[in-house]
Structure 1
């Protein structure tokens, strides 16, 4: 399936957000996710379905002041 991840095109063999994160190497990372502009909480990633052309944003926390 073709999706956009942080603005870049990717092909993934995933049907859920959790599977896509695993395929993209974010399995254990602490990240925030948004799908098509809507925030997706961690506990909803297993049940959030992906569709062709979806836009996924993956954001890592930053430290500093």
Structure 2
């Protein structure tokens, strides 16, 4: 779960960094930044989904252990 949090923070930082640099980029580079932001958003959604799955698995293991 810690790794997922680190990935989420890294992805958010990457998106912020890309947005800040976007002001001085060419049109092609701006399109690439938009694509990277979309990919980052998709990855964050996948991370959230995996995190929920992990929590469900942990709960199931705890129930089996009891």
TM-score under structure 1 length normalisation: 0.22
Structure showing the higher strand proportion among its residues? 1
Higher gyration radius (CA): 2
Structure showing the higher helix proportion among its residues? 2
